[in-house]
Amino acid sequence: MSDAKGYGFKITVIGDGAVGKTSLIKKYTQGSFQNEYIATLGTQFSKYEEFIDGEKVELYLWDIAGQDSFDALRQRFYTGSSGAIIVFSHAPDQSQSFDHVTKWLGDLKKHCGNIPIVLFGNKVDLVDDGELSSDTDIPVSDSKVKQFAKDNRFIGYYKTSALTGQGVTDAFKALVRKLYMIAKISSFS
């Protein structure tokens, strides 16, 4: 999608409901964080400009609702995705969200083919603060997530916090840089 104005990429952001997808996008694009949870209904769309190697890159971030009730609708929003972000939560009470990453990955591969994907392990601030309430609330081990990311050829796995900003910019930029490099290489073909 190269033109005189630069490059443009549609990035789909998916994962279970309430894992922080909207908050991560707001932190990256606006530098802000909203405390109260408001469920995404269907999809939300954000546009953001980034510069890579002096060239303008337009990002179209599609924040797709993670609740099961949006399954049928969600498939339509995958169309045209250049890359994707799958988000799960490290919060002790949401550790099952990592178990669903396989489902999200399957959806992406089915509807988008082989696109670059980054894995975000969000809400690490809740683990760092020692908010583990019991032995049953043990978060997903780092080594398990890293191995999963490697086995499934994610561009990378980033521990993020939409609250503190930890890892957010680095994670988004890793995907944007990969998309930019793919576009540059294909423009020479």
17-36 per-position pLDDT tens digit: 999 999 999 999 998 766 66
Predicted pLDDT of residue 189: 60
Q: Which domain holds residue 126?
A: 2-187
Q: What is the pTM of this model?
A: 0.88
C-alpha span between 145 and 53 (Å, rounded): 31
167-182 per-position pLDDT tens digit: 999 999 999 999 999 9
Q: What is the mean pLDDT of residues 49-69?
A: 87
Q: Is the pLDDT of residue 73 over 90?
A: no
C-alpha span between 151 and 58 (Å, rounded): 30
Q: What is the mean pLDDT of residues 130-140?
A: 50
Domains in the chain: how many in total?
1
The CATH number for 172's domain is: 3.40.50.300
